[in-house]
Structure 1
Amino acid sequence: MTYRALVAALAALSLSAASCGASDGSPDAADPNLGTAGWGDGLVDHQAGYRLSDVRAEGGRAGRVRFELETGQAHVGELTSWYWSTDLRYFARAVAEPTRDGAWEAAFPESPGGPGHLVVAFDTGDEIGDLVLGADVDAPRAKHGLPKVRVAEGDTQKVGAYDVSLSGDLLLAQPSTLVLSVSSAGKQVEYAEAEVAGVSIASGAFVRFEAGADGTFSGTPSSPGRFRLMVDVMIADRPLHAVFERTAFG
């Protein structure tokens, strides 16, 4: 079974279960509590009257992903996107910008091209709240491949002079809290901003963790099994990237 076929099958099961209690029986009437940091986990390209379409990607150093967001609403002001290769050797985040022709475009550096997946998250501005949509994308391959991903063996990964630590467990379909800390030479370091997100290695389900107090990040994994967790931290205008793995259970 291909990656897209597996994702589609799991998404269909999720939507079928969520729509059982809906009045019109359509996928767009699914439970708004599905997924994490909003509605959805990026396995489907349409929900609640919104649709992600015409996704096109470039590979290479200045790789760009262009897409359209079909909706009767015109108030989507900010849209965050994540793009990764299906082998999860590449994972990047970017804020998408609207184009003059009504589409959206996000710039992802060092894109390897090839088969991948795009996820977008935005505030609908209504009772739905945040919405997460996703679609497969295939970009021209770059001339140079990416090195093997270095995954932390435990709770801490050394990135240059810093130790990036991520502790906590993932609970399936339940709010899960992770704690992020950064230290250098044994002393805690304050960071300006941080982003924690994850992808199910088996299904491709996306989970975004919302920042809370005291370095906590909370999200709800929608798929069982192993998740690749990506942490991006900004310290004094220097970006740090660390990779961890956790198993969602419960």
Structure 2
Amino acid sequence: MTYRLPVAALAALSLWAATSCGASDTAPDTGETEVGVAGWGDGLVDHQAGYRLSEVRAEGARADRIRFELESGQAQVGELTSWYWSADLRYFERAAARPTRDGGWEAVFPEGLGGPGHLVVAFDTGEDEVGDLVLGTDLVAPAAQRRPTEVPVADGDVQKVGTYDVALSGDLLLAQPSTLMLSVTSAGTQVEYDEAEVAAVSIASGAFVRFETGPDGTFSGTPSSPGRFRLKVDLTVAGQPVHALFERTAFG
């Protein structure tokens, strides 16, 4: 299926492509990137602090499997979390990455999209002087056999998902730690969730932000670029996955 994007969206995507591709070519390996609450980097570079994301490719009939390698220090990495979004941001998914027998990593996403997109991986290096890293690279996946289910973007601070109302409040502050508050209710009653992940991507530049879990339903992260961000909330409630999308503008 083909679709047309508004002129403004195309301009934003062009800016993202120019920014992300240029950053990957010129960024140093020293890790001297603005430090966010949940780690170094914003996913615009594929190498940092002696680590490099390489041999990235999409596999599978639905383009739902993405394989990659992590060069330098890979033996110290025990767990990787990955996010993949399409260039138009209609698809924005999270998946844990697992090590493969040949020394690489593989992330299996819920559905495959195909076409141009961007992959980011976040991991703990196990090194005190480096800590967490976020690396990313552009990727063109094979054409998918069908369109994935598109989650609508919430109009405001609350999105209804089935019988749940997922609320995400708080502001994004440019280059400053920003705290968001997450809550879930059903029929007006507060609902406890088992676990949650909050992540965001800049609509204009493609800069990624992973939010660190804090006390009492708070999540903190540091946006590295101004403008509008798409935020993805992944929850587990009563053993079932719940997903919600929001938008915020980083200012300051």
Q: Distance in 2 between matches of 1:8 and 1:33?
A: 18
Residue 158 (structure 2) aligns with: 156
Are 2:17 and 1:4 equivalent residues in the alignment?
yes
State which drifts further: 156-165 or 140-149: 140-149
Q: Given the superposition, is the C-alpha separation of residues 60 and 217 from structure 1 closer, same or farther in structure 2, using an over 3 Å criterion?
A: farther
What is the rounded CA distance, in whole Å, between the counterparts of 1:239 and 1:198 in structure 2? Answer: 18
Change (3 A) 1:11 1:186: same
Taking structure 1 as reference, are residues 216 and 71 closer, same or farther at Cα in structure 2, changes over 3 Å only? same
The letter of the residue matching 2:218 is T
Residue equivalent to 1:242: 244
1:102 shift after superposition: 0.6
Alignment match, 1:225? 227
2:124, 2:131 within 8 Å by CA — same for their partners in 1? yes
Identity over the aligned pairs, expressed in percent? 72
Report the Cα distance in structure 1 between the residues aligned to 2:193 and 2:150, rounded to whole angstroms: 27
- Measured after TM superposition, the shift of residue 187 of structure 1 is 0.5
Equivalent position of 1:34 in the other structure: 35
CA distance in 2, matches of 1:238, 1:51: 34
The change in CA–CA distance for 1:241 and 1:60 in structure 2 (over 3 A counts) is: farther
Query: Quick one: distance in 2 between partners of 1:105 and 1:89?
Result: 22
Q: Distance in 1 between matches of 2:16 and 2:172?
A: 23
Give the distance between the partners of 1:57 and 1:190, measured in 2 at CA.
36
Equivalent residue, structure 2, for 1:207: 209
Could you tell me how far apart the structure 1 residues matched to 2:18 and 2:33 are? 24
- Give the deviation of 1:141 after TM superposition: 1.2
Match of 1:48 in 2: 49
Give the deviation of 1:60 after TM superposition. Answer: 5.2
Aligned partner of 1:97 in structure 2 is: 98
**1:29 match: secondary structure:** coil
Aligned residues: 238
Give 2:200's aligned amino acid. Answer: G
- Does 1:86 find its partner at 2:99? no
Give the drift of 1:32: 5.5
CA RMSD of aligned residues (A): 1.9
TM-score (normalizing by structure 1)? 0.89
Q: 3-state SS of the aligned residue for 2:19?
A: helix
AA of the residue aligned to 1:93: R
Letter in 2 for 1:201: I
Secondary structure, counterpart of 1:218 in structure 2: strand
Q: Tell me how far apart the structure 2 counterparts of residues 155 and 39 of structure 1 sit (CA, whole Å).
A: 28
Deviation at 1:182, TM superposition (A): 0.2
Whether contact under 8 Å (2:115, 2:141) holds in the other structure is yes
Alpha-carbon spacing, 1:161–1:109, altered in 2? closer, same or farther (3 Å)? same
> Is the contact made by 1:32 and 1:128 (CA closer than 8 Å) also made in structure 2?
no
What does the per-residue CA deviation read over 1:18-63, in whole Å, with 9 as the maximum and x for residues that have no partner?
xxxxxxxxx1224364344101010000001100001001365571
Q: Measure, in 1, the Cα distance between the counterparts of 2:178 and 2:55.
A: 34
Structure 1 stretches lacking a partner, 5+ long: 16-26
C-alpha distance in 2 between matches for 1:110 and 1:73: 27
Q: Is the 8 A contact 1:59 1:142 kept in 2?
A: no
